[in-house]
Amino acid sequence: VSQYLLRRLLIAIPSLLGISIVLFTVLALAPGDPFEELATNPAIPPEVRAALRAKFGLDDPVFIRYFRWLIAMVHGEWGYSFVSRVDVDTLILQRLPTTLIIIGSSQILALMVALPVGVFAATRPYSIFDQLANTFAFIGFSLPSFFTGLLLILLFSIQLDWLPFVYRADIEATGWRFVWEHVRQSIMPVAVLGLFQGAAWTRFVRSAVLDVIRLDYVTTARAKGLREKVVIIKHVVRNALIPVVTLVALQMPAVFGGAIVTEQIFRVPGIGSLLISAILANDTPVIMAVTFVFACLVVFFNLLADILYGWLDPRISYR
Amino acid sequence: MAGDDESWMTVQLTACRGPSSGRHGGRGAEPGAAGGGADHDSGTKAGPGRNPDYLSGNLLLQSDAINRLGTQSSRREQIMNEQNLHRLVGEVKTGRLSRRGFIRRMAALGLAAPLATQLLALGGVAQAQTQPAYKPTRRGGGGLLKILYWQGATLLNPHFAVGTKDQDGSRIFYEPLAGWAADGTLVPMLAAEIPSIENGGLVADGMSVTWKLKRGVKWHDGAPFTADDVVFNWEYAIDPGTASVSIGSYRDVEVTKLDDFTVKVAFKKPTPFWADAFVGSRGMIIPKHLFKDYTGDKSRDAPTNLKPVGTGPYRFTDFKPGDIVKGELFPDYHLENRPYFDAIEVKGGGDAVSAARAVLQTGEYDYAWNLQVEDDILKRLEAAGKGVVNVVETGNIEFIQVNTTDPNREVDGERASITTTHPSLSDPAVREALNLLVDRKSVQDFIYGRTGIATANFLNNPPRFRSPNTSFEFSVQKANDILEAAGWKRGRDGIRAKDGKQLKYVFQTSINAPRQKTQAIIKQACQRAGIELELKSVTASVFFSSDVGNPDTYTKFYCDMQMYTTTMPQADPQLFMNQYVSWEVSTQANKWQGRNIVRWRNEEYDNTYRAAESELDPVKRAEMFIKLNDLVIQSRHIIPVVARPLVSASGKAVQTSLSGWDNTFWNLRDWYRDSQA
């Protein structure tokens, strides 16, 4: 296994390099300039903009800038935000806790909905429960999150006035009140993200379980007189989970990336909103760092999924 | 802003022009129909930005100046004096009375000559008025002030702050020597008083200004504020290594310390607009003792960049770029009973509509900044009764440029070169017709509402610079007549043409719903007059970029007409009006960085502008700016559409103090919650 891991990691390096080259070139070619505002403000002499561009090395050719970035990255320097004038890692670390809490709990919610509902629906296909689950799943993943988000705000914040719709990362309260306030403001964003994700996964889990449940070994297990619960959990779900694991694992980078639209609607100060404001401000080092982190995470979780396969199905071997 | 009215004791001296007559498109009320110069509203009710119509052409005078005029006289006599003054100042302006004659008569009334000249001179950088009443009688106790910005502050060093969001973030903690009030007058902050000729702060030759600093001011860390701090800010800003964005305000002045609480700012040439350095958004003062080791190239490493230590009413507690800025009451603030709130929180992110919602509809927040939201939506949200929309006048204007050059011909690789002239737009008749075809009133009524006021002027504010000589009208009939008379005949396709040249134009703007609607209104009207407009809209990030390689930027102006908003960053129009001087023409040679984008050139304009740059008599200078406005308006290469005020929302009980000439938090110390309101 360790040899396999090493090989996979080595393969990952060129792909990450390729990704970084593509990202860097696209950003360099995109229109816009981080010091745009300086150019359009009559009170600021053009020399200031020229000096800043020179200071941050923006006038150098793209490939020189790329190698400078690459060398810094190898040294663990993520870059320096043009707009905020702080190190990019500070910016990202500031927003990581909020992102992990909100997106993480929404993914957990999604799994908690998708697994039981999907499995239960598959064991009784075309029952009333299955029909209902299917209908809700369809509704859930057909409605875009910005729409459900606004709908929830209209209902719970404006009509009923129960929940706040502006998320505040640091609430000045202690003890239970602190927890309560956080739960209250997290309900809507977590529900929007979690239920959307959960709806899609429910469909996926259901079909994966349906594929497995008709196989002969399941009939054999039942014939042995095993209890239905054991048959489903030990024999069916374990095998049915393999494709689900791939899907969930590939979704994991999103946990770190945040959900751009939802974060914007609820003003959740996560990495997604950092990315969108950096894009709007043409803050290249921040865009580069955040997208590159995503790329790394995708590669990493792909690897993780492959390793999990082996655990779920010993027949899969690493070569 | 309810409740301000009683306290604003402004007295207006009528200038020669008298009340404006309906050309400025009043906000709400119909403009007054009163005529003659001496006939006026004595204006004891002029709130900030409340009734802009009859402020036009008037001079504002501080109420205590009036009190000084009428020393030991009864109120009735004061009114007599005011009325005399109104008439006399008006006579000076129309030329019926000489300036010397005015001063002689004033002397006869018992007024010293310097004060009399100052009365005439007030049109320039006028004295501050008394501020709206501040009711709280003790410091603190107001709880948390919650503010929403749909774009959060990204840095907190005022010398690096370009956008208003960053300047506002810094302004919570830092203060300048003086700030700009809503009417374009100065209010002392860290200065003990506003320099004037009378108090010796200004000199007759306009070569320097002397600021007296307020004593007993403390930085948030307890260190005293002195003249050294002020001088240091100048040194900090002019160091090219710092690359500060405030350098433009400081590099042409020389700052010296006269004593611990007096600073002299010397100019290289006579400077009528002396209130730039140390004033307003670029005048915020940072502490020397915390920044002195971080100047020039080291400036970016200063820890205080992210943890500001200022002199303002709130001191720093927390900052997350783009997300939140927090402060708490500063117990040693230099003004008594201030601030009212115990803490302040400015939350960033999201969008303007939901920010308006959080203030107007749910009351979750106390104030929401810069609501670029359609007025219809604002009105609907306002109906919930939890908050009000504040509309504050600015000099910003949405206008149309009519190209002077030919965008379709290339000269030495440059389109719209100034060596060319536009084949059909160079005909004044065509431009005159276009001017008649822009239905400004409908644009205001159906698109912008309170957030865009139809105007005939390019220079709209402060009111003392607003031209009374212009007017606008919408008439397809007249446009048709003018074009017909000029020989532009309708072809078979209904489009007018002359000598094989058709009146077909490309009209571009940025992508933005109100702009596309405005474009459509104009296109329809033009169609009825036989002019075909091809509408083009460019993504804002491209349109407003300075990307030299992109042909669709507004500074290149590679089409026949374009529309956007230009902003007026200061209460003085000098920088604003350089948009039409010939040496600012935007060309390939200056990488399209010139400010004169329409590329209109006029000798009279250039000369008047140069004269205004050094004219020390504020009244004459104001006349010059009005003339500049009239020249460019008459050229019809510029068609103003609507003036854009600053729109924000605040909770019912929250009493704000806003200005279109300075940052949102310029007077944060005066914000409070009025439980009775």
Can you tell me the ipTM of this complex?
Answer: 0.84
% of chain B beyond a pLDDT of 70: 80
Q: Which residue has the higher pLDDT, A301 or B46?
A: A301
Split at pLDDT 50, 70, 90, the class of B96 is low
Provide the shortest C-alpha distance from residue B576 to chain A (in Å). Answer: 8
| CB-nearest partner of A273 from B162, B349, B550 | B349
Alpha-carbon gap, residue B143 to A94, rounded angstroms:
27
CA distance A233 to A116: 11
Per-position DSSP letters for B640-661, written without gaps between them: EEEE--EEEEEETTEE----TT
What confidence tier does B402 reach under pLDDT thresholds 50, 70, 90?
A: very high
Q: A85 vs B550: CB contact, 8 Å cut-off? A: no
Q: What is the pLDDT of residue B625?
A: 95
Nearest to A46 among B541, B550, B593 (CB): B593
SS3 content of chain B, % helix, strand, coil (to 5): 30, 20, 50
A36, B546: Cβ pair inside 8 Å? yes
Q: What pLDDT shows up at residue B60?
A: 35
User: B594 versus B18: which is more confidently predicted?
Assistant: B594
pLDDT tens digits, one per residue of A145-191: 888 888 988 899 888 888 888 888 777 777 788 888 888 889 999 99
- How many angstroms away from the CA of B337 is the closest CA of chain A? 25
pLDDT at B1: 36
Nearest-Cα distance to chain B for A239, in Å, is 43
Report which of B244, B295, B300, B243 is spatially closest to residue A80, judged by C-alpha positions.
Answer: B300
pLDDT tens readout for residues A92-148 = 888 888 888 888 889 899 999 999 999 989 888 889 999 999 999 998 888 888 888
Q: Is residue B666 pLDDT above 50, yes or no?
A: yes
Q: Shortest CB distance from A42 goes to which of B318, B544, B575?
A: B575
When mean pLDDT is compared over A65-74, A246-255, B191-200, B600-609, the highest value belongs to: B600-609
- Shortest Cα–Cα distance, B17 to chain A (Å): 32
C-alpha B423/C-alpha B559 separation (Å) is 12
A27–B contact, CB cutoff 8 A: no
The answer, for A79 touching chain B at a CB cutoff of 8 Å, is no
Distance CA B32, CA A83 (A): 48
CB burial of residue A171 (10 Å; 0-12, 13-18, 19+): middle
Residues of B with Cβ-Cβ distance to A86 under 8 angstroms: 155, 306, 321
Tell me the residue type at B440: R
Whether the per-residue pLDDT at A57 is higher than 70: the answer is: yes
Cβ-based contacts of B144 with chain A (< 8 Å):
172
Contact call for A269 and B324, based on CB within 8 A: yes
Number of alpha carbons in the 13 Å side-chain half-sphere of residue A271: 28
- Whether A153 and B354 lie within 8 Å, measured CB to CB: yes
CA A306, CA A313: separation in Å to the nearest integer?
11
Asked if B290 contacts B228 with a C-beta cutoff of 8 angstroms, the reply is: no
Q: Which residues of A touch B154 (CB under 8 A)?
A: 81, 83-84, 277, 281
**Within 13 Å and on the Cβ side, how many CA atoms surround A95?**
28
Q: Could you read off the pLDDT of A11-30 as tens digits, one per residue?
A: 888 888 998 899 888 888 87
Q: Which residues, at least 6 apart from B83, have a Cβ–Cβ distance to it below 8 Å?
A: B38
- Chain A CB contacts of B250 under 8 Å are none
Q: Is A80 left (phi over 0), alpha (psi -120 to 50) or beta?
A: beta
B286-321 tens-digit pLDDT: 999 999 999 888 888 889 998 999 999 999 999 998
Q: What is the mean pLDDT of residues B434-458?
A: 94
**Residue bearing the bigger pLDDT, B676 or B46:** B676
Residue B283 pLDDT greater than 50, yes or no: yes
Taking CB atoms and an 8 Å limit, are B550 and A52 in contact across chains?
A: no
Q: Is B73 left (phi over 0), alpha (psi -120 to 50) or beta?
A: beta
Please judge whether B365 and A161 are an interchain contact, meaning their C-beta atoms are less than 8 angstroms apart.
no
Q: Is residue A228 within 8 angstroms of chain B, CB to CB?
A: no
Closest by CA to B537, choosing from B502, B504, B512, is B512
pLDDT digits (tens, 9 = 90+) for B333-388: 999 898 999 999 999 888 888 899 999 998 999 999 988 888 999 999 999 889 99
Q: Return the pLDDT at B31.
A: 29
DSSP states of A210-260 as a string? HHHHTSHHHHHHHHTT--HHHIIIIIIIHHHHHHHHHHHHHHHHHHHH--H
- Span B385-404, average pLDDT: 93
**Could you tell me the sign of the dihedral formed by the alpha carbons of B146, B152, B153, B154, in that order?**
positive
| CB nearest to B364's CB, from A37, A166, A273 | A166
The reported pTM is 0.80
pLDDT value for B113: 41
For residue B566 the two structure tokens come to 């230009």
Q: What is the C-alpha separation between A237 and B110, in angstroms, rounded?
A: 101
**Cβ-defined contact of B245 to A44 (cutoff 8 Å):** yes
The answer to whether the Cβ–Cβ distance between B593 and A39 falls below 8 Å is yes
A44 pLDDT above the threshold of 90: no
Q: Give the bridge partners for B496, in sequence order.
A: B490
Instruction: Give A178 to chain B, closest Cα distance, Å.
Output: 17
Give the integer Cα–Cα distance in Å for B558 and B597.
10
Residue A201 Cα, gap to closest chain B Cα (Å)? 29
Amino acid at A171: I
Q: In this structure, what DSSP letter does residue B622 have?
A: H
Taking alpha carbons only, the member of B149, B303, B287, B134 closest to residue B663 is B149
Quick one: average pLDDT of B435-459? 94
Asked if A91 and B321 come within 8 Å (Cβ–Cβ), the reply is: yes
The continuous run of DSSP H or E covering B146 comes out as strand B144-148
pLDDT of the residue at B266: 95
Does residue B91 surpass a pLDDT of 90?
no
CB-based contact, A277 to chain B, within 8 Å: yes
CB contact under 8 A, A51 and B243: yes
CA B652 to chain centre: 26
Show the 3-state SS of B166-191: HHHHHHCCCCCCEEECCCCCEEECCE
- Chain B residue numbers with beta carbons less than 8 Å from the beta carbon of A264 are 349-351
B347/A168 Cβ within 8 A: yes
Determine contact, residues B568/B461, Cβ cutoff 8 Å. Answer: yes
Question: Closest Cα partner for A20 from A315, A319, A304, A292?
Answer: A292
State the pLDDT confidence band at B30, using cuts at 50, 70 and 90: very low
Q: What are the Cα distances from residue B411, in Å, to A114, B418, B505, B545? A: 66, 9, 20, 23
> Which residue in chain A is spatially nearest to B152 when comparing CA positions?
A277
Helices (H), A124-174: 128-142, 145-152
A59 interface with B at CB cutoff 8 Å: no
CA neighbor of B459 nearest in space, from B399, B414, B532, B390: B399
C-alpha to C-alpha distance for B455 and B565, rounded to whole angstroms: 13
Q: How far apart are CA B142 and CA B289, in angstroms?
A: 32
Predicted pLDDT at B32 = 29
Average pLDDT over residues B234-258: 91
Q: Which of A267, A283, A286 is the best residue to mutate to test the B interface, defined by the most B CB atoms within 10 Å of its own CB?
A: A267
Closest CA to B279 of B209, B206, B332: B209
To the nearest whole Å, the CA of B7 is away from the closest chain A CA by 35
pLDDT tens sequence across B470-505: 999 999 999 999 999 999 999 999 999 999 899 999
A171 to chain B: nearest residue by CA?
B345
- The pLDDT, as a whole number, for residue B344 is 95
User: DSSP label at B53?
Assistant: G
Instruction: Note whether B443 and B434 are within 8 A (CB).
Output: no
Nearest by CB: A94 against B247, B320, B575: B320
Minimal CA separation from A168 to chain B, in Å? 8
Distance, in Å, from the CA atom of B51 to the CA atom of B463, rounded to the nearest integer, reads 11
Nearest Cα to A94, choosing from B319, B316, B155?
B319
CB distance B244–A91 less than 8 Å?
no
- DSSP code of B583? G
How far apart, in whole angstroms, are the C-alpha atoms of residue B312 and residue B195?
21
Flag if A43 and B240 touch (Cβ within 8 Å).
no
A to B CB pairs, distance under 8 Å: 138
pLDDT number for residue B508 = 95
Contacts of B114 (CB under 8 A, 6+ apart): B197, B198
User: How does pLDDT run across A257-299, given as a tens digit for each residue?
Assistant: 667 888 888 888 888 888 888 888 888 889 988 888 888 888 8
Tell me the sheet residues that pair with B178. B188, B279
For residue B675, count CB atoms less than 10 angstroms from its CB and return exposed for 0-12, middle for 13-18, buried for 19 or more: exposed
Minimum distance, in Å, between the CA of residue A261 and any CA atom of chain B: 10
Q: What is the SS3 assignment for B330?
A: coil
A95 to chain B: nearest residue by CA? B320
Burial readout A66-85 (b: 16 or more C-beta within 10 A, e: otherwise):
beebeeeeeeeebbbbbbbb
Q: Are the beta carbons of B81 and B70 closer than 8 angstroms? A: yes
Contact A215, A235 (CB under 8 A): no
Under the banding of pLDDT at 50, 70 and 90, the label for residue B101 is: low
